[in-house]
Structure 1
Amino acid sequence: MSTENELKGLRENIDAIDSQLIELISERARCAEKVADVKSKASENEVALFYRPEREAQVLRSVMERNPGPFSNEEMARLFREIMSSCLALEQPVRVAFLGPEGTFTQQAALKHFGKSAVAKPMGAIDEVFREVAAGAVNYGVVPVENSTEGVVNHTLDNFIESSVRICGEVELRIHHHLLVADTTKIKQISRVYSHAQSFAQCRKWLDANYPTVERVAVNSNADAAKRIKSEWHSAAIAGDMAQDLYDLQPIEEKIEDHPDNTTRFLIIGSESVAPSGNDKTSIVVSLRNKPGALHDLLRPFYENGIDLTRVETRPSRNAKWTYIFFVDFIGHCEDEVVKSVLDSIAANSGDLRILGSYPIAVL
């Protein structure tokens, strides 16, 4: 068989497979519409919940477990994430607030978690994202909580102290920073670099080695940095792929972060509790009474019951000087019997305990 005939046969096979895919995706979409109809009828006077974080996590995990290749598990899951996002939009588009402006890593995290069919709304500050969710103006919000290099985002933790919103999910995003310029930039005369303070910290060693004398100007976001250099011929910006594409910039150096595994964890905040998905994490905030051994008493029940702690953070309490509250993340769901027992023990020995949420561990 000649090469041309062989290619023709393969292309015909691809066309036939594409026809099957189109029909199967359409059938899935029709099924999603029926699900929406059933939920709407069952909810009667209450607001129907179309997006179920635990269900989506279970589907994506199942996709990754059944993936035969040659796509990687993550790539296959990303394909299904977009199909699920489009199907959900037929039921009811998810409205999501994120820390803006457009082009930020938080927007990238929101699209990674909810898919591109979600209606994303940029907000100017983290507390504005919390307010939008609490007021019901959006279904969910996306906020950064910690970076593998620079640690916790204190502003996010502080908002949980005063807000009634719940954590409904998490998403982890590998952060790659690029040194970007506009088409009007005179590269050899760069004297100023714009970026977010966290990005400067994550690229400190690279900047010290390659641009030690340039002025470093911290701005509200990397997207803001990207926008600013459009009108300055002597400036560059540190930002990611989304800002680069949105503002039509060019990289003169790529992946300049000091640590190649640089990752930021984002939280999905909403108003409802999330049912167990089978692989969950719980976040709590605890105010301790000021007494010897208080922290030991807080952590001991986790150790005694074999519960894995994934994060413990301390923040000053606003109620009294030199008193502190603790943010604790651990593996398990608050409906698990062993977790219930641990939380009851902590509540009996603490000044105040609040469950911020139990939610699926990040799949993507």
Structure 2
Amino acid sequence: MSESPVNLDELRNRIDAIDSEILRLISERAMCAQTVAQVKTADDPQAVFYRPEREAQVLRRIMALNTGPLDSEEMARLFREIMSACLALEQPVKVAYLGPEGTFTQQAALKHFGESAKSLPMAAIDEVFREVEAGAVNYGVVPVENSTEGVVNHTLDSFMDSSMKICGEVVLRIHHHLLVSSTTRQDKISRIYSHPQSFAQCRKWLDAHYPQAERVPVSSNAEAARLIKTEWHSAAIAGDMAAKLYGLDRIAEKIEDRPDNSTRFLIIGHEDVPMSGDDKTSLVVAMRNQPGALHDLLEPFHRHQIDMTRLETRPSRTGAWNYVFFIDFKGHVDQPEVAAMLEEVRVRSAEVKVLGSYPQGVL
């Protein structure tokens, strides 16, 4: 027992020394990032500082090298924040997201770009597209599909008329909580606010625990959290960010019906993204209205052994009862086998629009 204080002091001294070395190395990395910015600007005054493929490669490398005791995803999140802070020294990234503040889309934006990015809330998905197209922000973050409730049609439709490129993706585990304010009488809850998607994802839990409560759909979970601050008989379904932002208490946690409930978000921007080594491609295909059209579309994927990960159908805007296909597959347009497959699809279709090739989500 007498040796414990001595050993503890030694350990604390060791931690202090390690912290000093970490500080020195982070500062050295930051100075290197500043030099990178100077070199890029000298070569091209309009240089792009954020490189999605490079960041994905760095994070994958960190995860592969990690030996613990921190798990690989936690280690990658730490490096994501270091990279975010260093990138801000080169050029702060402005990101528009589907707001208001406190939504899961903001959480996805921060997960992908880090806390040093400047995030700006937008009222609608098409506003996010417009802000990016106008150059008011560098990138946008929009939801595209949920593992429980399926695709977000508004996002798919926005791509039909937009020149924006998909630069990346984020997959976020979605945990819903039942939130109340300090003035809520928990035994008198008769109204619950939330986004329609959240109500759908928590339907069974609500039926079991609050079958008589009125379910009031609102534009976002953050808006639901804001509304209950002034109502003593109401609760909200929202996530951790909204709870923290509005100072709410969780009376029931993780009430989603499926424990693997996740939402996929897309990063939109102006630039094509080079290969990262583990990529996906998204495209829109309009087929001619003729027998066997779907078979003609899918056959080149099978023959070239391209792994299709998603196929969605949306009504075309060119005529009644015509449809377009939204397709995700593994691979990059610069790979020879992908280029060959796409050339065949173009011959067989009325129109093909590549929405982007981008790194598969790392975090």
Q: TM-score category by the smaller chain?
A: over 0.9
Match in the other structure for 1:147: 146
**SS at 1:17's partner residue?**
helix
Q: Using the alignment, how far apart are the partners of 1:156 and 1:184 within structure 2?
A: 37
**SS at 1:314's partner residue?**
strand
Match in the other structure for 1:13: 14
Match in the other structure for 2:266: 267
**SS at 1:29's partner residue?**
helix
Match in the other structure for 1:27: 28
Match in the other structure for 2:199: 200
Match in the other structure for 2:42: 41
Q: Using the alignment, how far apart are the partners of 2:334 and 2:216 within structure 1?
A: 47
TM-score normalised per structure 1: 0.99
Q: Using the alignment, how far apart are the partners of 2:186 and 2:47 within structure 1?
A: 54
Q: Using the alignment, how far apart are the partners of 2:20 and 2:319 within structure 1?
A: 66
TM-score normalised per structure 2: 0.99
Q: 1:257-296 residue pairs with structure 2 within 5 A?
A: 257-296=256-295
**SS at 2:109's partner residue?**
helix
- Give the letter aligned to residue 109 of structure 2: A
Match in the other structure for 2:211: 212
Q: Using the alignment, how far apart are the partners of 2:335 and 2:149 within structure 1?
A: 33
Q: Using the alignment, how far apart are the partners of 2:181 and 2:161 within structure 1?
A: 41
**SS at 1:272's partner residue?**
coil
- 1:66 CA displacement: 0.3
Q: 1:172-183 residue pairs with structure 2 within 5 A?
A: 172-183=171-182
**SS at 2:47's partner residue?**
coil
Q: Using the alignment, how far apart are the partners of 2:106 and 2:237 within structure 1?
A: 16
Q: Using the alignment, how far apart are the partners of 1:80 and 1:176 within structure 2?
A: 24
- 1:41 CA displacement: 0.5
Match in the other structure for 2:5: 4
Q: 1:56-71 residue pairs with structure 2 within 5 A?
A: 56-71=55-70
- Give the letter aligned to residue 201 of structure 2: Q
Whether 2:338 is the aligned partner of 1:339: answer yes
Q: Using the alignment, how far apart are the partners of 2:38 and 2:266 within structure 1?
A: 30
Match in the other structure for 1:88: 87
Q: Using the alignment, how far apart are the partners of 1:351 and 1:135 within structure 2?
A: 29
- 1:172 CA displacement: 0.3
- Give the letter aligned to residue 18 of structure 2: I
For each residue in 1:150-171, what CA deviation from the matched residue of structure 2 results, as whole angstroms up to 9, or x when unmatched?
0000000000001110100000
For each residue in 1:4-35, what CA deviation from the matched residue of structure 2 results, as whole angstroms up to 9, or x when unmatched?
11100000000000000000000000000000
**SS at 2:236's partner residue?**
strand
- Give the letter aligned to residue 333 of structure 1: H
Match in the other structure for 1:318: 317
Q: Using the alignment, how far apart are the partners of 1:227 and 1:280 within structure 2?
A: 39
- 1:2 CA displacement: 1.3
For each residue in 1:199-250, what CA deviation from the matched residue of structure 2 results, as whole angstroms up to 9, or x when unmatched?
0000000000000010000000000000000001100000000000000000
For each residue in 1:237-284, what CA deviation from the matched residue of structure 2 results, as whole angstroms up to 9, or x when unmatched?
000000000000000000000000000000000011000000000000
- 1:147 CA displacement: 0.3
Q: Using the alignment, how far apart are the partners of 1:297 and 1:40 within structure 2?
A: 47
**SS at 1:217's partner residue?**
strand
For each residue in 1:305-349, what CA deviation from the matched residue of structure 2 results, as whole angstroms up to 9, or x when unmatched?
111000000000011000000000000000100000010000011
Q: Using the alignment, how far apart are the partners of 2:72 and 2:265 within structure 1?
A: 21
- Give the letter aligned to residue 283 of structure 1: S
For each residue in 1:63-105, what CA deviation from the matched residue of structure 2 results, as whole angstroms up to 9, or x when unmatched?
0000010010000000000000000000001000000000000
Match in the other structure for 1:327: 326
Match in the other structure for 2:122: 123
Q: Using the alignment, how far apart are the partners of 1:218 and 1:39 within structure 2?
A: 48
Q: Using the alignment, how far apart are the partners of 2:7 and 2:261 within structure 1?
A: 45
Q: Using the alignment, how far apart are the partners of 1:347 and 1:237 within structure 2?
A: 48
Give me the CA root mean square deviation: 0.5
Q: Using the alignment, how far apart are the partners of 2:293 and 2:72 within structure 1?
A: 44
Aligned residues: 362
Match in the other structure for 1:249: 248
- 1:192 CA displacement: 0.2
> Once the two structures are aligned, what percentage of the paired residues are identical?
68
Q: Using the alignment, how far apart are the partners of 2:81 and 2:151 within structure 1?
A: 30
**SS at 1:284's partner residue?**
strand
- 1:296 CA displacement: 0.5
Q: Using the alignment, how far apart are the partners of 1:294 and 1:38 within structure 2?
A: 50
- Give the letter aligned to residue 3 of structure 1: S
Q: Using the alignment, how far apart are the partners of 1:104 and 1:156 within structure 2?
A: 16
- 1:40 CA displacement: 0.4
Structure 1, unaligned runs of 5 or more: none
Structure 2, unaligned runs of 5 or more: none
Q: Using the alignment, how far apart are the partners of 2:299 and 2:327 within structure 1?
A: 13
- Give the letter aligned to residue 304 of structure 2: N
- 1:36 CA displacement: 0.3
Match in the other structure for 1:302: 301
Q: Using the alignment, how far apart are the partners of 1:198 and 1:277 within structure 2?
A: 33
Match in the other structure for 2:190: 191
**SS at 1:276's partner residue?**
coil
